[in-house]
Structure 1
């Protein structure tokens, strides 16, 4: 991305830092004498956090007299269908009530202003705004819950008869549970009490996967493939026994049910059309730009981290734009974490992050620790776009595949394809003994390159090669000098008539300027988290958009948005059977019970072809 473009983006971030993808109205206001942020917020009926988000250069403690603020205007009234009076019961909180009625805590406070001056008490009577619901919202998650008592949100055109049938009740039983609901309206909640039935026991495993079924033939194929009975499907999916497959249903299955990995298309049939609230936490280092005596162009040239953050940010915005074209409403809130734990703490202190459904970022480890610990209170998932967490966290998702997974893929490829004609050899850094031990244990007789000096010599590489054999040479190093020397030496031996195939768990040590012709001649096989899956058609094929980090930002953000829209809950969405794939990356998360963290297990195994093209190699399924 060009320097001029980055300067424009930095300027935009300065102007409006918290980006909201949904349309919103704004006003400006010049603060009068004796007014503070709380007073201004009350005047416009918005939260202090909202004002801070759109005015990044002010703080809660700065004197504001004479300052001109950007004020986001609330348009909540346009989304309200009606109000309902609710008497608070003992031990209830604003949070629990907000969850029951699916409205924000701040929305409840807005329409019950006495809560701005005191705490909630039992026996308080609240006016709860009942929000308008899109016509296609689904009660799938409610129907598939295993609770005997629950609430059903009435949809447009629904009838008592249809609702009762969905839950295996008669109309009379439904009316007995809801004596005040003589006539039902969209947005009403009906109490549902399921009958207790004798059903088969649930599997011991508490982990599940989700599979979408569109027809009876799909269901038959699913039962044969996953070896599950109709009784078990009914037990795990109570709605199924009443509604059947219908026009498509997402079925819950035991996680250990076996089925082939497959590509998931989450770009349609959304079960949750509500606005998605996502936080983007990146080290823009805006304060450094403000304080620097250098020009913005000079600062950008020197600050690689800021350039990466801007590319990720641009990719995330492109994903939001693409999601909106699919009909998904996204509220993307962007935060500058800086490069210190103090910067992350300031973001936490100055913003209400508990409204987020997912967080993308941060980048540096101290910030990952701080944000994940803060969001763990509400189990808000934290998806790391370009780094791996060095700590455990049951809500942390490493979107980059682990080194161990990449090594396992190389080992599996060798195991599935090696023959007696193959001469296997390995050059490995001393610091990675684990991979070396795995290769030695799995393939006894593997030859090792032994370096006598601190640098690699051509004769040391030649000592493990054998003419008349197919030489598979495994290179496992993070050192650029060793990687480049190895490629050069192997190419020289190839020209002398040796049949050589180079394999690398990661080619991060190979610089971009190394000869692709050499790599093609050596039929390089390597693993990578990204691969050019499809052409870039986001903005007419602009080269600016081919940045590795732009595409990473797009793919990670798009995956989070679509998973939230498809199922409604990110944790449920990662249990879907298969992987998602976008412009350059694919994702299939699994929970590591030992490390207590989610890892992306979708990685590309890529091979150079004779014509300099790349080909993705598919491994055989593991038994």
Structure 2
């Protein structure tokens, strides 16, 4: 038998972990198709920047801090350019993060693979992004997460202190050339009909010489940059010192920015019910309806002596639409802009409008939209604002009633529950509500909180269709007449057709809502007749023509009465329109509409009770 001599281990624990980490990095580099490079003994992974990439996304994919990337790539502080090479030092990779399921980049998104025990909340915290943003880009996640499924995290919604790190890479103003094996500076110069000196001048002199796989800048205009360069209006640096358009005008210029020729692949179209009457060319119909309603309001005010010049811009969610619109000198001369409908498009135009003191209005509901500038207005209260309103209403109007709050125990409903409770208890209520949760079966947990001989207000801050349907079915098992019950839910419930209308009526379902179309109103009939006379067809069932009229009547009427100082009169200038109400309030970052209907089912009809 041959015995091995005594010797020290070749690897201790630390060196083994280091080698494993390098192996992980090398495997990652192969998986992502990246080059590895050694400089002064230091190993680097080379990342080639593609369209949509951001410093934040690169840092997450390679498990290094943004500051580390900037330290080794100082030119990136001025912004990323498509084709840039970013070097990632292997020695500064966060070892724990590298082992902990790093995401992969996909344009402006990070692809996150769901692991065991992960929730929407934990994933949102990992990327510092709102849960609603995750659901907006992954609607199927609303039904629950599956291990192994991929979630798309939109980097543009990440909350950061320095906006520069989530700015997507832009095309270089110069052409880029990928150096193939065997090519020389001379052959490349001949290919582009320029001199070798010109190439070296725009590539910092090529201190390391020419190498295969290198990305060279070529001193010729990049057609992609020329075609997609932002309009001058969008490159203005907007400060807190915003200009103000004030005073009255003999005529007012108003722009409507609507998707008149929307693509059927548009993101808004994808969220519509494909069986609805609007399914074919849905957004085009919506745009036309809004325009026609707005036009009737403008014509009506013109008959009263107001001069309005209306400008139409065909704007969807394509960046080229926005760029073309903002390159039109007339847009900068507007007094009011209505639209665009898409959140990303609106956010670009509101910056343009703020730099010129132009008031801009978002006419449709979008839960992710936040105003960023003093001249911006959002007309639809968010679901969180609606829950705050409902808490205040119940606290003040049901002082002597028994209030029961049901917790769905769903993460996505957590904020709705908290907003209701904080508002309720912040309105001078001495009682403290302890929300109840449903048992696995039956309704006893809720029934035990009910009081016979008093009105029982059951508040359910949830938009989970399965939970809502189950709860209403269980409540129906309570014998009619034993308790006086009123159920209060959320606006989305109006779309839940699998919740029996009989239950909605029995429990006098009461919900906050931003819009309401009352077909019994006389002015509704008058508008419908006027619309049909003007356009040879009645307005659609979606309410968009009525919305267009209300927006036009309120804002144009405010300018007619107060001039461009109309925001100073928001407190007194309230209006309940055909479809929506207006109770605007100014804030430092824009204005919001505080008008909320409280709708109640009674005798199989829905009517406002506030």
TM-score (norm 1): 0.48
Q: Which structure is higher in RCO with an 8 Å CA cutoff and minimum separation 6?
A: 1
